[in-house]
Structure 1
Amino acid sequence: MTRKNLRNTGLAALALITTAGAPGVEAPANAAAVNGDAQALLTALDDEYRAEAIYAAVIDNHGEARPFINIIEAERHHAAMAKAEMDRLGVSYPEANPYLGTLEVPATLLGACEQGVTAEIENIALYDRLLPTIEDDSVRETLSKLQWASRERHLPAFERCVARGGTMGQGGMGFGRGSH
């Protein structure tokens, strides 16, 4: 089945996927591809939720410190982008972030920035694994944008924070609120 046909039949396929295995119901031929894209989106949303929760905990512990106050807004936007794709495909997902208030963070801003560097490197690698599996062009575009933001915006911001020894930045360079 072509990507165009997959895109045009995605909602119907997902509706059938939820009933596949029921007596007399068979999954459509493209169910595995649609289900794979759905799983990739759920994985991406989970990663965005974790990042938001970590950055929220840093803000709770250290106040409105950059780059956390800027990047948390981007993570929320990224989650909304993943949710929009899942809405388009008819995929269920947790509306609320299950990680908020449950994650511990380093005691220092420097430690938190170092953790941010590691998290963004892992996020980039996650998308490196997910993107080759994506069948739907719109899902691929969305996940590519999320990876780009991690590589080109978030990782450099955390690297700058580490280079400053964990002291708050002064903003500038176009990396302010809503940078994604």
Structure 2
Amino acid sequence: MQNPAATPLTAAEAQGLQDAILEEYGALNLYQGVMDTLGAELPFTQIARSEQQHVNALLRQAQIYGVEAPANPGLAQPVSFDSLAEACQAGVQAEIADAALYDTLKAVTTHTSLLQVYDNLQSASLNQHLPAFEACQ
């Protein structure tokens, strides 16, 4: 089996991988912020764990391809929601943004292993996380 890193990522692929890591950090930070504000509410507890797995999968790809992984920047602004329904709507928007980013990244990515990770993460966003947030409103 050929080493997936035998062919380096293009500049666009490397930047895309960094963008994906930051996007997943953003979702993770949002969901953690919701839990800090509203408590350990479903589906935030489960999806935050999943987002950490997403970050880990992308960090593994960065390591394989020798791409510098950005640090988690934390939340730009404190999370403030008046209700679980309001927080769930923010979750809906975050998952839509995640899925859209992967569409953009897949268009400039040729490495099969990276495409597979993007497909898996996008599928989780669209088929698991998004419906969970839509249901909790």
Question: Is the TM-score greater than 0.5?
Answer: yes
- Indicate conservation of the 8 Å contact 1:56/1:100, yes or no: no
SS at match of 1:107: coil
Partner of 2:60: 84
Q: Which runs of 4+ in 1 moved over 4 A?
A: 4-7
Q: Distance in 2 between matches of 1:54 and 1:83?
A: 19
What are the ranges of 5 or more consecutive residues in structure 2 without an aligned counterpart? none
Partner of 1:151: 126
Q: Distance in 2 between matches of 1:135 and 1:105?
A: 40
- Indicate conservation of the 8 Å contact 1:7/1:136, yes or no: no
Q: TM-score, normalised by structure 2?
A: 0.91
Find 1:139's aligned residue among 100, 109, 114.
Answer: 114
SS at match of 1:134: coil
Q: TM-score, normalised by structure 1?
A: 0.70
One-letter code of the match for 1:42?
Q
Task: Map 1:64-143; keep pairs closer than 5 Å.
Answer: 64-95=40-71, 97-100=72-75, 102-143=77-118
> Which structure has the greater CA radius of gyration?
1
What are the ranges of 5 or more consecutive residues in structure 1 without an aligned counterpart? 11-32, 163-180
Q: Identity rate of aligned residues, in percent?
A: 36
CA deviations on 1:109-161 (whole Å, 9 max, x unpaired) are: 11000111111112111111111110111111111111000001000000110
Partner of 2:38: 62
More helix by share: 2
CA deviations on 1:34-90 (whole Å, 9 max, x unpaired) are: 221111111110010000111011000111000000000000000010000000010
Q: CA RMSD in A?
A: 1.9
Q: Answer yes or no: is 1:51 the counterpart of 2:27.
A: yes
SS at match of 1:112: helix
How far did 1:107 drift? 2.1
Partner of 1:26: none
Aligned length: 136
